[in-house]
Amino acid sequence: MPSPPSTIRVYALGWFVAVMLGMIPCSSLCGAQEQSPQEASNDVANDDKSSEAATYPIRLQVLQKIDIAAKREGFLKDASLVPGTVVTKGQVVARLYSEKKELEAKRVQAEIDALTAEASNSAGLTKAQQDLQLSQMRSRELNAAASRTRIPRLEIMEAQTSVESNMSALQGAFSEMNQAQHRLTAKRAELEIIELDIKQSAIRAPFDGVVFKQFKHSGEAVSAADPIAEVYRLDRLLGSVLLRQTQVAPAAFNDLTGTVRIEIPNLGVREFEFEHPSHLPRVERDGRFLAVVKIWNRKSEGSDTWILLPGMQGKLVPMLNSKQASSEQ
């Protein structure tokens, strides 16, 4: 028996109220189906891609390389410059033979000691001053007595000659002391040159780095400015990333601040400080540009091993400042 119209109206009203209150899903009314597991996984993948949209592949390169050179001529005594050797700033990486220079330095030092004693010895000068004073007193006494008694003129002349002789001796003593002082100064300068040669026998690393090539080996003769090895800097590295203007504008890239996160194989994600070069990246015809950053490298905890090395690849995750973030929103 069919339901009366009033009953149909009550059912329809109850159905509408249930939908509005959320008791019955709207999908059942619209004929929509629940999301399949495959579609859910696709959404997750799309979310991952969107999260990686702000990451860019980055390659680490050498920021600075330099040839370690000898500062004087000689023969290499020690050279710990095998390619791959990690060196620190100021470390002695090679030496020249300096035994002859060291013996010469000892000889000159002995001469300096003797001249120092001679220059500081005032006994001769004191005696010359005393002799001059005595002769001057004798001459004055004879001249005073000559006015009262008869003094032989020859005796007066001998006293005056003695005064002149003692005055010359005093001038000679002053001259000898000055000459000893000049010789002492010259010997000290000679010793400084020898010690500089000895100091330059030690060849030091200009910065923290790694040896890439070795040009000279132990026993070989070298001249001043001869390259001995090529060293790459490690405390600072260059990171290069190829971008499109649709990803990041060149001017906006140089305005990035904060840190960069680089994902290193077998090490995970690490954060490193960076700075931008003074010039803007050059944009190519196809809209791409090569952006570079200078990255501050650091050593592993409890080790002297540098974390980053030239040739490594990772991902650059820039951090926008508040101004840029608001402009993008």
Q: What is the pLDDT of residues 117-137, one digit of tens each?
A: 877 776 777 777 888 888 888
Q: What is the pLDDT of residues 158-204, one digit of tens each?
A: 878 888 888 888 787 777 778 888 888 999 999 999 999 899 899 99
Range 9-26 average pLDDT = 40
Confidence band, pLDDT 50/70/90 cuts, at residue 264: low
Give the Cα separation of 117 and 119 in Å (integer). 6
Question: Is the separation of the CB atoms in 183 and 131 below 8 Å?
Answer: no
| Three-state secondary-structure class, residue 113 | helix
DSSP β-ladder status, 236-244 and 202-204: unpaired
State CA 291 to chain mean position distance.
Answer: 25
Residue 322, pLDDT score? 41
Give the Cα separation of 309 and 288 in Å (integer). 26
Buried b (16+ CB within 10 A) or exposed e, 133-168: eebbebbeebeeeeeeeebeeeebeebbebbeebee
- Whether 27 has a pLDDT exceeding 80, the answer reads no
Least confident of 92-96, 178-182, 185-189, 294-298: 178-182
- Whether 109 has a pLDDT exceeding 90, the answer reads yes
Question: Is the separation of the CB atoms in 58 and 240 below 8 Å?
Answer: yes
Residue 326, pLDDT score? 42
Report the predicted TM-score, pTM, of the whole model to 2 decimal places. Answer: 0.55
Q: List, in sequence order, the alpha helices (H) in 121-235.
A: 123-146, 153-200
- Whether 19 has a pLDDT exceeding 70, the answer reads no
Least confident of 51-55, 216-220, 286-290: 51-55
Give the Cα separation of 236 and 188 in Å (integer). 42
Give the Cα separation of 141 and 154 in Å (integer). 15
Range 142-146 average pLDDT = 77
Residue 258, pLDDT score? 63
